[in-house]
Amino acid sequence: MQISNFRQRKWGSLVTRAALSVMLLANVPSFSQSNLKLQEFFRNNIGLSEEQIAAIKSGRAVVKAMPSRSPAEVFLFGAVYVHAAPEKYIQFAHDFDRLRQLPNYLALGAFSSPPQLSDLSGFSFDDDDVKALKDCKPGDCLIQMPASSMDQAQKAIDWSAADLSQQVNDLLHKAALEHVRRYQRDGNQALGVFHDKRNPTDVPQRFAYMLSYAKVLPEQLPDFHRYLLEYPDYRPANTDDAFYWSKVKFGLKPTLRIVHLITMRGKPGDPVIYAVAEKQLYSSHYFETAFDLSFCVRAGENAGEPGFYLIKAMGSEQVGLTGLKGSIVRKAAVSSSLSNLQKALTAIRNTLEQ
């Protein structure tokens, strides 16, 4: 059973680390060293008011839902000024012990280098997903997966056995390990195709489409953009990689995720000191593709104090948000997501400034 894709049709609220959007921050590297240019970005590219720009500088988190090309897309922007060294944020972003303590994280594990089967202890389906897997067929499945995985599960599992859950999760662990290894070898093409709904979803294609929202990004962050699309064939020297899995409660039920955590260091004097991407490689429910971008941007030479602007962009793509019912669900999900993002930025600022 390939882990390439598992998905549920219901929408879960987008929360911090759920997902990621390039389009809001494509122009970040065009900032000069002056705060004026940064303010122009907030004003002209994001559409913030003067009051909102002043609030960011004063240390208040400002968030905004950005336009999307379809009801399936959700893009969020957030920013806050942090009176701390940007290196503290990088430590924060890589602190898996901190994530494990968050109430919505039910379990989390980091992958070894190279990944090992033992890394996946705790990565498991709950009873509802085990039952749902039994009835999966192409075009009708409550878990995201390709048709080949459905067929493999049907043939490999003894559905009447007393150790049914153990069988399913053993198969899941092997599939997850192979998924990560294939991605590390073949890149985005290993992400596969979803067949859980009538219309298949080509995940590599959808991921590239999400990135394409910001046409200016290849001009402004060519290495970052290219790495997100061409890993592992292209890897800039100033990048670091980590891989982890999590079991997170997204609204209706627990969701399994596998994430590629990418950190790129800017060159001395670059406006963007660090760029961090959390790229979803797999989600058992809700999100067909998702990524979360963070940028640590210099405050300017004349800021007179240590600190940086933390700018976040989050995006995801999910079906089920069209029509009257879908529009109502989307409105509620975006509202909840914005609230969660604002709380997260505020908590990050408070933690880093201690």
pLDDT tens-place string over residues 70-124: 888 888 999 999 999 999 999 999 999 999 988 889 999 999 999 999 999 999 9
Class of domain 23-113+210-352: alpha beta
> Given this model, what pLDDT does residue 6 score?
37
> Given this model, what pLDDT does residue 8 score?
36
Residue 34 confidence (pLDDT) above 60: no
pLDDT band at 26 (very low <50, low <70, confident <90, very high): very low
Mean pLDDT, all residues of the chain: 85
pLDDT tens-place string over residues 164-217: 999 999 999 999 999 999 999 999 999 999 898 888 889 999 899 888 775 444
Three-state DSSP at 275 gives: strand
pLDDT band at 258 (very low <50, low <70, confident <90, very high): very high
> Given this model, what pLDDT does residue 214 score?
58
> Given this model, what pLDDT does residue 73 score?
86
Q: CA-to-CA distance for 17 and 15, rounded, in angstroms?
A: 6
DSSP 281-318: EEESSS-SEEEEEEEEEE--TT--SS-EEEEEEEEEE-
Q: CA-to-CA distance for 152 and 329, rounded, in angstroms?
A: 34
Asked if 233 and 187 touch (Cβ cutoff 8 Å), the reply is yes
Asked if 102 and 13 touch (Cβ cutoff 8 Å), the reply is no
> Given this model, what pLDDT does residue 198 score?
84
Q: CA-to-CA distance for 105 and 108, rounded, in angstroms?
A: 7
Relative to beta strand 253-265, strand 201-202 is unpaired
Asked if 326 and 72 touch (Cβ cutoff 8 Å), the reply is no
Q: Domain residues of the chain, as ranges?
A: 23-113+210-352
pLDDT over 90 for what percent of the chain? 57
> Given this model, what pLDDT does residue 1 score?
63
Relative to beta strand 308-317, strand 201-202 is unpaired
Provide mean pLDDT across the span 305-331. 81
> Given this model, what pLDDT does residue 204 score?
93
